[in-house]
Amino acid sequence: MKKLVLCMAVLLVAGSLLYATGAAEQTPKTTPRPAVVKLQVWYAMSGASGEMFVKQAKEFDDARADIELELTYSGSYADTATKVSAALLSGNAPDVAVMAAGQLYSGERGDFSMEQLIEDPEFNKNDIFEGMWEYAKYEGRIASVPYGISTQVLYYNKKIIDKAGIDLSNPPKTWHEFLAIAKQAQQRGNATNSSDFWGFDTSDGVWLIKSMLYQNGNKVVDKQGENIVPVFQDAKGIEVATFWKRLVDEGVMPSAQHNNAEKKFLAGNLAFIAASSNRISRWTTSDTVELGAIPMPSFTQRSLALGGNGIVILTQNEHNRQAGWELIKHLTKTENQTAFALGTGYLPIRKSALDSQIVKDSLATNPNYKVAFDQLATTWAYMHFGEMGSMDANFWYALDEIEKNVLTPAEAMDKAAKALLKEME
Amino acid sequence: MRHRKLTGYNWTVFIILAVGSIVMAFPFIWMILSSFKTTADVYAYPPRWIPSSWDWHNYSEVFRMIPFFRYYFNSIYTSVAQTLLEITLSVTAAFALSKLRFPGRNFLINLIRSTMFVPMIVTLIPLYLLVSRAGWIDTYRGIILPQIFSAFTIFLLMSFFVTVPNDLLDSAKLDGCGYYRILTKVIIPNSMTAIGTAVMFSFLGHWKSYTWPLIITNKTNYRTLPIGLKYLVQESSSEYQVMMAASVMAILPVLIVFMFSEKQLVRSVTLTGLKS
């Protein structure tokens, strides 16, 4: 539901962004550099993530006498989308923002200067996983830098799996193999004889279906000429939607109850759950579930859609842009970004992180991290575009209608595609 | 003092009311208990009612993570100012619209009514642009003034003001009262129950207001408590026990306002059920 709220917020502000395109200045200002560049930074991270980010940003602030940071917590991802949209329209936008889908804000204004900035040899762009760069693109061009990134991981409750007599040392490779195992877990693993016991569910169906689509050779959206068009309604997409329906029809996954999936899992009423990788740390220390994790199954190719936030530079002032870039370099240094990621539940964005001591320590204390780290090489992001919030909302409705048997998989996917096309027009 | 004997009927009523009270009080009790829990206690299943250890750590954590007293002061300052201004504006508007006859009155009523059907998110960005042009970003004015008009409060008060007999107003006029004195000496004293209710609704609405103060402020000095509460939890992994500790402290002013306006609220509910 959080995701849907974010989608709706992004949808609402998309119109404003079009206006902002005209309102924002496109030519960088060339003025003498002040002795101290004041850099406004908004960040959409709270709790432990917010604290960790502020700590690292302040380290940069202390180390640089020529740059002064003004850090502002900008609320949730959806709140930040609204706040940034309003600020862009009125010319009060921050210099830098750490937010979800930040590339929409620079990309829609035709600002792809990040492509030049990342060529900085000190930054080493090739050290960042390829899939992460896809996540930082707007309509195929890099417009932000990935930062707090996560993927979904397939977790399981060890007690249930043991009771069902399932051996996961050789985990299922395909979703069809997994369906058989989840069914087995449901039939034999219900230790408490609960009437609300299930084999599998996900806390974020929209996120998972996008991974599944790509795993089945469907790119979700594609570029035709100058236009981006939905392709998730093609035969490959319908195959995935039909499998989704099978999960419900065969009684393995409850219908339209994704909001309760995590509660069910922690209550011991769910054998498998596909949930964000940032749950590893919290659930491992939980005394309610003995946690295990296996690689996410696939259809024809291994792949996982990314989620999370990135860093975007919004200012057109050349000195502030440069200061913003210096901050990004500091935050995304291997040691800083890896410490941030592991301290907050996100995943490292750099390949070199996997050789770092902090990652080795994490693997030693928590083997479940290995599953998430191994998946990094197969991460993927669909092409980002202005109406992607609207697309996610349409996916949500499509899955709901499939699960409730209101529409056939083909009808639901077709309806979602038509709604998206209408929105784009 | 004479004690009435409890009959079977009374016992039934008593039990129903007791169960109802427990249900209503449950979230508050849960909030207070959770404010002393550890992370494991909060996520325990089956739910752990009593904390495994009574620890004040969550309260100290609130003060470490956010400038709680600054946010507290800002919330009290802005909520009280907004409530006072909103009630003043709404009382005068409701009086004019319910008791005076002037050209365009019905149009004005419908115009105000129509604002109730526009979601806040739709007006958020235009309002931000106006406030930004006025130079009110990061000011108390920017938080307070755009939020003092409430169609709901105007209609709530109008519905009570129309019940004040016009004869009373005519008598006041005969005694030489102008509109101002009619409002202050006749309408307001006869509508204290409604105004008390409006004060409570208004204060509650402003106290928990989150989106507007978040959008309009960037500096800690002007930020309010709901923004601080939101900062205590994160999208991925939430330390609800810390938020509960902050909520226990944040709820105090609301309880005080409720204690003062409870009598008026109950009377207003009772009066709405009476036929003239």
ipTM of the complex: 0.79
How many other CB atoms are found less than 10 A from the CB of residue A152? 25
How many other CB atoms are found less than 10 A from the CB of residue A271? 31
Cβ contacts of residue B1 below 8 Å, gap of 6+? none
Give the pLDDT mean for B44-59: 82
Question: Which residues 369-388 of A have a C-beta within 8 angstroms of B?
Answer: none
Domains of chain B: 58-272 (1.10.3720.10)
Tokens (6 digits) for A2: 């959080």
Per the CB < 8 A criterion, the answer to whether A349 and A146 are in contact is yes
DSSP B34: H
Domains of chain A: 2-150+307-380 (3.40.190.10), 152-305+387-424 (3.40.190.10)
| pTM confidence score | 0.81
Give the pLDDT mean for A169-177: 95
CA distance A231 to A104: 21
Residue A34 vs residue A240, higher pLDDT: A240
Whether the CB of A214 is below 8 Å from some CB of chain B: the reply is no
**Per-residue pLDDT tens digits for B66-81:** 999 999 999 999 999 9
Residue B29: phi and psi, rounded to 5, are -65, -45
The alpha-carbon gap from B215 to the nearest alpha carbon of chain A, in Å, equals 5
Helix (H), strand (E), coil (C) string for A139-193: CCEECCEEEEEECEEEEEEHHHHHHCCCCCCCCCCEHHHHHHHHHHHHHHCCCCC
What share of residues in chain B are helix, strand, coil (percent, to 5)?
75, 0, 25
CA distance A128 to A149: 12
| Amino acid A26: pLDDT | 46
pLDDT confidence bin for A19, thresholds 50/70/90: very low
Per the CB < 8 A criterion, the answer to whether B78 and B224 are in contact is yes
Q: How far, in Å, are A85, A364, B129 from residue A376 at the CA level?
A: 32, 18, 42
* Nearest CA-CA partner of A256 in A397, A404, A416, A409: A404
* Nearest CA-CA partner of B242 in B65, B99, B48: B65
Residues in chain A within 8 Å Cβ distance of B239: 47-48
The alpha-carbon gap from A238 to the nearest alpha carbon of chain B, in Å, equals 31
Q: Which of A27-36, A268-277, A295-304, A410-419 has the lowest mean pLDDT?
A: A27-36
DSSP of A22-35: HHS--SPB--PPPS
**Per-residue pLDDT tens digits for B129-139:** 999 999 999 99
- For chain B, report the end-to-end CA distance as a whole number of angstroms: 36
Residue A148: phi and psi, rounded to 5, are -90, 90
Per the CB < 8 A criterion, the answer to whether A246 and A212 are in contact is no
Whether the CB of A277 is below 8 Å from some CB of chain B: the reply is no
Best mutation target among A19, A46, A269, A270 (most B Cβ atoms within 10 Å) is A46
Q: Which residue is closest to A346 within chain B, CA to CA?
A: B236
Write the residue in A72, A79, A267 that is nearest to B218 by C-beta: A72
- Is residue A386 pLDDT above 90, yes or no? no
Strands A221-224 and A141-142: unpaired
CA distance B189 to B216: 37
Identify the residue whose tokens are 């922690």: A266
Per DSSP, the three-state class of A43 is: strand
| Amino acid B266: pLDDT | 67
Residues in chain A within 8 Å Cβ distance of B124: 82, 86
Residues in chain A within 8 Å Cβ distance of B39: 282, 285
Write the residue in B43, B122, B214 that is nearest to A83 by C-beta: B214
Give the pLDDT mean for B206-230: 93
Rg (CA), chain A: 22
Per the CB < 8 A criterion, the answer to whether B158 and B97 are in contact is yes
Across the interface, do A86 and B215 touch by the CB < 8 Å criterion?
A: yes
**Per-residue pLDDT tens digits for A245-255:** 999 999 999 99
Residues in chain A within 8 Å Cβ distance of B132: 86, 90-92
CA distance A163 to B99: 75
- Is residue A421 pLDDT above 60, yes or no? yes
Whether the CB of A42 is below 8 Å from some CB of chain B: the reply is yes
